[in-house]
Amino acid sequence: MNSLWNFIKEYYIDSIVYKEGYNPVNTLTWALLLILAVVLIYKFLERRIDIDRKFVYANIPYILLGSSVRVVEDAGFLTPPLSYIFMSPFIYMLIFALAFPTLVISIKMFGERYYKPYSAVGLVLSFGVLALLFANLSIINWWVIPAGLALSAVIASMFFAISPKPMRNDLSVLTMFSHMFDGFETYFGITYLGYWELHVLPRFLIEKFGAISLPVVKFLVFFAILYLLDTTDEDEKLKNYIKFVLIVLGLAPGLRDGIRMLFAT
């Protein structure tokens, strides 16, 4: 029993309590749980709504909400053990526990127009958290988010220009934009502001090839993924849903990093 407890403590608990970042064991665990959750949620949603552009855009306020709430913990407004709930991967579960019931209620009450009240709730909550941050913290690095947005927009535009016609759709462009934003915000933080990378594979790339390797590798990897998605005959709902998951995995950490660096927390 002691060896099992030591294993759990070393690879799961300590990484959260001491903010040690991810390791291969907990990375694989969270990845498998994410895949399971993604599959189950898709099975639920595909029978109830069109998973289209409206669905994806309606969820962006909740991505912003999760990133903002994560910075609330970074800024030290919360103390253990409550603060642990607001750290990855539990922050994803927390936002899901809020967003999913709101989505279900919106679908039941408003049918095909569910996306309007659903996104409105997310906007109100995310703006409320942002207002809390701006009211209590000083802006230190004002340039990090505008610079990240600008560079990401340039690369996303280049992606659109060089891509085959099937890839020239707004969800593919948004997917690429999201991961470019995450990559550039990480680059800024590591290169100029003294931050470090939490995730295993990006940390390996940065140690071997420097921080600029992250947006470069992300561009190549996600170009290939989007090419495979957009040039197959797979169901459109499924393709849109996969892009939605990819957008969350890029935009959420990118926004968290950008907001955190904005206030130097």
Per residue in 241-250, pLDDT (tens digit) is 999 999 999 9
**What mean pLDDT is reported for the chain?**
93
Assess contact for 119 and 61: CB atoms under 8 A: yes
Query: Per-residue confidence at 20, pLDDT binned at 50, 70, 90?
Result: confident
pLDDT of residue 1: 61
Instruction: Spell out the SS3 assignment of the chain.
Output: CHHHHHHHHHHHHHHHHCCCCCCHHHHHHHHHHHHHHHHHHHHHHCCCCCCCHHHHHHHHHHHHHHHHHHHHHHCCCCCCCHHHHCCCCHHHHHHHHHHHHHHHHHHHHHHHHCHHHHHHHHHHHHHHHHHHHHHHCCCCCCCHHHHHHHHHHHHHHHHHHHCCHHHCCHHHHHHHHHHHHHHHHHHHHHHHCCCCCCCHHHHHHHHHHCCCHHHHHHHHHHHHHHHHHHCCCCCHHHHHHHHHHHHHHHHHHHHHHHHHHHHCC
Tokens of 16: 């959260």
Per residue in 146-165, pLDDT (tens digit) is 999 999 999 999 999 999 99
pLDDT of residue 41: 96
Whether the predicted pLDDT of 10 surpasses 90: no
User: Between residues 26 and 151, which one has the greater pLDDT?
Assistant: 151
pLDDT of residue 182: 97
Least confident of 11-25, 38-52, 90-104, 160-174: 11-25
Q: Mean pLDDT throughout 153-178?
A: 97
